[in-house]
């Protein structure tokens, strides 16, 4: 059949990929002839029977860090969405399409789970970072209030030492701010802020 259309494979090209005469700007992909690689996974998922089943198994087993995984999953989700849309519009799906939905649903659910977990982890990280920032702001405000109370104002030299002072635990920096003189504070913390 391929030769009747004038389709030929490129020398040293990918097996399963054929090109029609140049003037037609067309190619033919024979899915079951494609090599079993991550680059052909998406096309093999569109195949039938054992080729499709093996491709789905490969997708499920693919490492979360694999460079082709995200793109392949995105294409799978688009395919699932289109099939689900057709089903919801009461357009009948054939048996193979129904089976494909059933086979790809666990992959979709796994992806949702991963995305949820990633979102939770990012939320926790953001919460921790916001907590750290709030603690730093509170420590800074405490140091500024104590310096203001002791010295009636905070000049630029004193303002420059605050970052160094608040790196100490609260039980250490608060007594220091209450006990040390302006000169002692500048001598002790002024070098760190330079």
Residue 29 falls inside a structural domain: yes
Name the domain count of the chain.
Answer: 2
Query: Two tokens at 35?
Result: 């090599």
Looking at residue 34, what is its pLDDT?
92
The terminus-to-terminus CA distance of the chain in angstroms comes to: 80
Q: Beta-carbon neighbour count of residue 44 at 10 Å?
A: 22
Instruction: Note the pLDDT tens digit of each residue in 171-182.
Output: 888 888 888 888
Over residues 19-34, the pLDDT tens digits come to 898 888 888 889 999 9
Q: Are residues 48 and 117 in the same domain?
A: yes
Query: Do 3 and 67 have their domain in common?
Result: no
Sequence-distant (6+) residues with CB within 8 A of 43 are: 29, 31, 34
Instruction: Look at residues 85, 111, 136 and tell me which one is the last residue of a structural domain.
Output: 136
Is 148 a member of any domain?
no
Reported as a single tens digit per residue, the pLDDT across 94-116 is 887 788 777 777 777 777 777 78
Residues 73-99 pLDDT 10s: 788 788 878 887 887 788 887 887 788
Please indicate, yes or no, whether the overall pTM of this predicted structure exceeds 0.85: no
Residues 77 and 15 in one domain: no
Report the interhelical angle of 182-189 vs 156-165 (nearest 10°). Answer: 60
Note whether residue 74 is domain-resident.
yes
Does the structure show a pLDDT above 60 at 120?
yes
**pLDDT at res. 192:** 52
Whether residue 117 is predicted with pLDDT greater than 80 in this model: the reply is yes
Q: For residue 188, is it within any domain?
A: no
Domain with 22 in it: 1-35
- 51 with 130, same domain: the answer is yes
Q: pLDDT for 33-86, tens place per residue?
A: 999 988 888 888 888 888 988 988 888 888 878 888 878 878 878 887 888 788
Q: Which long-range contacts (CB under 8 A, 24 or more apart) does 95-101 make?
A: 96/48, 100/52
User: What is the chain's percent helix, strand, coil content, to nearest 5?
Assistant: 70, 5, 25
56, 94: one domain: yes
81 and 42 in a single domain? The answer is yes
Q: What is the mean pLDDT of the chain?
A: 84
């Amino acid at each position: 059949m391929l030769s009747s259309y004038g389709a030929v494979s490129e020398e040293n090209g990918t097996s399963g990929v054929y090109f029609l005469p140049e003037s037609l700007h067309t190619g033919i992909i024979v899915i079951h002839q494609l090599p079993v690689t991550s680059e052909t996974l998406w096309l093999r998922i569109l195949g039938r029977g054992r080729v499709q089943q093996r491709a789905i198994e490969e997708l499920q087993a693919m490492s979360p860090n694999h460079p082709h995984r995200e793109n392949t999953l995105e294409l799978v989700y688009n395919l699932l969405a289109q099939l689900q849309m057709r089903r919801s519009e009461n357009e009948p799906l054939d048996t193979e399409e129904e089976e494909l939905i059933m086979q790809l649903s666990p992959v979709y659910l796994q992806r949702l789970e991963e995305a949820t977990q990633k979102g939770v982890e990012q939320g926790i990280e953001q919460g921790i970072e916001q907590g750290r920032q709030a603690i730093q702001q509170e420590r800074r405000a405490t140091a500024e209030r104590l310096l203001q109370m002791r010295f009636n104002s905070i000049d630029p030299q004193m303002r420059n030492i605050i970052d160094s002072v608040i790196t100490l635990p609260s039980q250490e920096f608060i007594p220091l701010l209450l006990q040390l003189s302006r000169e002692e504070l500048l001598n002790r913390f002024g070098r760190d802020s330079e």
